[in-house]
């Protein structure tokens, strides 16, 4: 229908894409390039489901683009495929093994404390006026949270219903895979014009990731990310708040970043900002854009404009998790949940930041880093650490950083 409203989250992307498509499609001798690209993308994405000689044929390309020079172990591949095809069935087995009720309760408690911390921090902000502040609070209150797994996976009947019609044929692996892909597409298309199901998840339980969705105004943390080293119910508070806590804070802050702020608490695209608060917001975002654009890998600059939303979320996340941690620590002063780590001569506040930094430890080839630098909306992991702690007064205090040094610059970017 011509009158349907479509929400485009990356307007700039669609604009550039349609320029490219128009340019290629109207030029007679260029139009085949688009068709080739579509065919290539299809084959490229499906080759993995064929036997390993096909996978090996892809290796030189993967090495060039991502620096990858080995193929995935079969067992790992099989788990991924099972998760893609029957993620909630696998999730039922997974959560039974590694995510008990005590873990879920502890994770709920962390989310509750960090939400509260966002609100308390919001009260102290000077740049946003009372009217916008109240609107922000209303939005915060309405954020729906999903922790661990959707309840239906514990119900055998409902789980079977979810995969009704997914009959597999023995010895027909490729065919089965295509069948699953078709089914999942169909499921998505059937949702068109249907009422949104607020209980639906967009990630399976074993996924090591989390998300905030602006149109659903919800934060989601699958059981897969609620695992060591990011989270465990018996870890010291400093470790939990420094790792999963900053991620929880990150997702909440997404509701108030440069994209999330355009939606209200009910997920409608509606401005709830006064002009003066919005101007202040935008002024402050310029500071982040400048700071992160200065980071380079091998001479290539990060694009602080593209990574803005993620950087706002990282900076808000670490701050509110730190405050939530301080408050939790005070209330459990005598409990043994806040011990230090044996053999490490760091106090708890320092451990919080060390735990945060560990979250982003990774191994990556230079090729892959350059690829991410132009594609990933997140800052490269080293700058997710350096950028945020440079802006953190609490970090400088914890480590007694001298003022006007690299890790404690006098100009700090602050938003939430
Ligand atoms: Zn994010």
pLDDT per residue over 215-236, tens digit each? 899 999 999 999 999 999 999 9
CA of 332 to the centre of ligand 1 (A): 30
CA of 317 to the centre of ligand 1 (A): 10
Mean pLDDT of 258-268: 95
Catalytic choice (83, 314, 349, 372): 314
CA of 314 to the centre of ligand 1 (A): 7
Neighbouring residues of the ion ligand 1, judged by CB less than 5 Å: 310, 313
Query: Residue 186 pLDDT > 70, yes or no?
Result: yes
The reported pLDDT for the residue numbered 193 is 86
Handedness of CA 272, 277, 279, 283 (dihedral sign): negative
CA of 311 to the centre of ligand 1 (A): 8
CA of 28 to the centre of ligand 1 (A): 41
CA of 360 to the centre of ligand 1 (A): 13
Catalytic choice (135, 218, 251, 372): 251
Tell which phi-psi region holds residue 366, choosing left (phi > 0), alpha (psi between -120 and 50) or beta.
Answer: alpha
CA of 254 to the centre of ligand 1 (A): 7
Cβ-proximal residues to 387 (8 Å cutoff; 6+ apart), any chain: 291, 292, 295, 311, 314, 315, 379
For residue 334, name the pLDDT band (cuts at 50, 70, 90): low
| Beta-sheet pairing, 218-222 with 144-148 | parallel
Query: Residue 401 pLDDT > 70, yes or no?
Result: yes
Task: Cite the beta strand spans of 131-260 per DSSP E.
Answer: 144-148, 211-213, 218-222
The reported pLDDT for the residue numbered 300 is 94
Query: Residue 274 pLDDT > 70, yes or no?
Result: yes
Query: Residue 157 pLDDT > 90, yes or no?
Result: yes
Least confident of 41-45, 86-90, 385-389, 405-409: 41-45
Query: Residue 336 pLDDT > 60, yes or no?
Result: no
The reported pLDDT for the residue numbered 366 is 87
CA of 261 to the centre of ligand 1 (A): 14
The pair of structure tokens assigned to 283 is 């002024």
The reported pLDDT for the residue numbered 387 is 98
Decide: residue 84, CB within 10 A, 0-12 exposed, 13-18 middle, 19+ buried. Answer: middle
CA of 212 to the centre of ligand 1 (A): 7
The reported pLDDT for the residue numbered 288 is 98
Query: Residue 200 pLDDT > 70, yes or no?
Result: yes
Cβ-proximal residues to 343 (8 Å cutoff; 6+ apart), any chain: none
The reported pLDDT for the residue numbered 343 is 84
Is 372 among the residues known to form the active site?
no
Calpha distance 120→395 (Å, rounded): 20
Query: Residue 139 pLDDT > 70, yes or no?
Result: yes
For residue 65, name the pLDDT band (cuts at 50, 70, 90): confident
Identify whether the C-beta of residue 307 lies closer than 8 Å to the C-beta of residue 379: yes
CA of 207 to the centre of ligand 1 (A): 15
User: What separation, in Å, do the N-terminal and C-terminal C-alpha atoms of the chain show?
Assistant: 40
CA of 121 to the centre of ligand 1 (A): 20
CA of 199 to the centre of ligand 1 (A): 21
CA 267 from centroid of its chain's CA atoms: 18
Mean pLDDT of 40-49: 89
Segments in 6-48 forming alpha helices (H)? 11-26, 31-46
For the chain, percent of residues with pLDDT exceeding 70: 98
Counting Cα atoms < 13 Å in the Cβ hemisphere of 41 gives 6
Calpha distance 134→118 (Å, rounded): 13
The strand pairing partners of 256, in sequence order, are: none
Calpha distance 412→396 (Å, rounded): 11
Q: What values do phi and psi take at 213, rounded to 5?
A: -115, 115
The reported pLDDT for the residue numbered 333 is 65
For residue 344, name the pLDDT band (cuts at 50, 70, 90): confident
The reported pLDDT for the residue numbered 5 is 82
Mean pLDDT of 243-265: 97
DSSP state letter for 264: -
Calpha distance 250→210 (Å, rounded): 10
The reported pLDDT for the residue numbered 337 is 58
Q: Tell me, which fold does domain 100-150+205-398 have in CATH?
A: Collagenase (Catalytic Domain) (3.40.390)
For residue 335, name the pLDDT band (cuts at 50, 70, 90): low
Is 251 among the residues known to form the active site?
yes
For residue 341, name the pLDDT band (cuts at 50, 70, 90): confident
Give the H/E segment covering residue 296: strand 296-297
The pair of structure tokens assigned to 408 is 């404690």
Domain ranges of the chain: 100-150+205-398
Calpha distance 372→379 (Å, rounded): 9
CA of 249 to the centre of ligand 1 (A): 10
The reported pLDDT for the residue numbered 67 is 80
The reported pLDDT for the residue numbered 63 is 86
Calpha distance 325→339 (Å, rounded): 13
- Considering only residues 353 and 72, tell me which one the structure prediction assigns the higher pLDDT: 353
- Considering only residues 407 and 343, tell me which one the structure prediction assigns the higher pLDDT: 407
For residue 6, name the pLDDT band (cuts at 50, 70, 90): confident
Mean pLDDT of 321-329: 95
The reported pLDDT for the residue numbered 10 is 82
Q: In what order do the strands lie in the sheet with 218-222?
A: 144-148, 218-222, 211-213
Q: To the nearest 10°, report the CA torsion of 201, 203, 209, 213.
A: -40
Least confident of 157-166, 203-212, 229-238, 327-336: 327-336
Query: Residue 338 pLDDT > 80, yes or no?
Result: no
Least confident of 124-138, 141-155, 188-202: 188-202
The reported pLDDT for the residue numbered 4 is 84
Least confident of 64-73, 333-342, 368-377: 333-342
Query: Residue 319 pLDDT > 70, yes or no?
Result: yes
The reported pLDDT for the residue numbered 264 is 96
- Considering only residues 16 and 68, tell me which one the structure prediction assigns the higher pLDDT: 16
């Amino acid at each position: 229908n011509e009158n349907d409203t479509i929400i485009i989250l990356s307007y700039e992307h669609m604009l550039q894409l349609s320029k490219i498509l128009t340019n290629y499609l109207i030029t007679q001798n260029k139009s085949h390039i688009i068709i080739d690209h579509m065919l290539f993308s299809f084959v490229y994405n499906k080759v993995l489901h064929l036997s390993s000689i096909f996978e090996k044929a892809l290796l030189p390309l993967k090495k060039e683009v991502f620096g990858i020079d080995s193929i995935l172990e079969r067992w790992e591949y099989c788990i991924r495929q099972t998760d893609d095809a029957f993620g909630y069935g696998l999730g039922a087995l997974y959560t039974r093994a590694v995510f008990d009720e005590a873990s879920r309760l502890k994770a709920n408690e962390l989310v509750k404390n960090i939400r509260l911390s966002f609100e308390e921090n919001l009260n102290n902000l000077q740049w946003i006026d009372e009217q916008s502040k109240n609107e922000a609070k209303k939005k915060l209150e309405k954020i729906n949270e999903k922790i661990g797994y959707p309840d239906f996976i514990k119900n055998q009947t409902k789980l079977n219903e979810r995969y009704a019609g997914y009959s597999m044929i023995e010895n027909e692996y490729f065919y089965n895979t295509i069948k699953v892909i078709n089914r999942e597409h169909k499921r998505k298309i059937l949702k068109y014009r249907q009422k949104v199901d607020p209980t639906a998840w967009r990630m399976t339980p074993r996924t090591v990731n989390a998300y905030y969705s602006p149109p659903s105004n919800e934060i989601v943390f699958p059981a897969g990310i609620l695992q060591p080293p990011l989270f465990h119910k018996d870890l010291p508070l400093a470790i939990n708040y420094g790792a999963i806590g900053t991620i929880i804070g990150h997702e909440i802050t997404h509701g108030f970043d440069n994209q999330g702020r355009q939606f209200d608490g009910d997920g409608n695209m509606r401005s709830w900002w006064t002009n003066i608060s919005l101007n202040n917001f935008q002024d402050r975002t310029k500071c982040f854009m400048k700071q992160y654009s200065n980071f380079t890998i091998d001479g290539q600059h990060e694009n602080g404009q593209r990574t803005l939303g993620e950087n706002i979320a990282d900076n808000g996340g670490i701050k509110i998790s730190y405050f939530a941690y301080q408050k939790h620590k005070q209330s459990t002063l005598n409990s043994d949940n806040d011990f230090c780590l044996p053999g490490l001569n760091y106090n708890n506040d320092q451990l919080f930041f060390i735990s945060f930094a560990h979250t982003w430890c990774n191994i990556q080839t230079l090729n892959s880093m350059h690829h991410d630098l132009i594609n990933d909306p997140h800052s490269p992991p080293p700058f997710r650490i350096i950028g945020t702690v440079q802006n953190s007064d609490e970090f400088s205090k914890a480590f007694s950083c001298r003022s006007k040094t690299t890790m404690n610059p006098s100009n700090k970017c602050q938003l939430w």
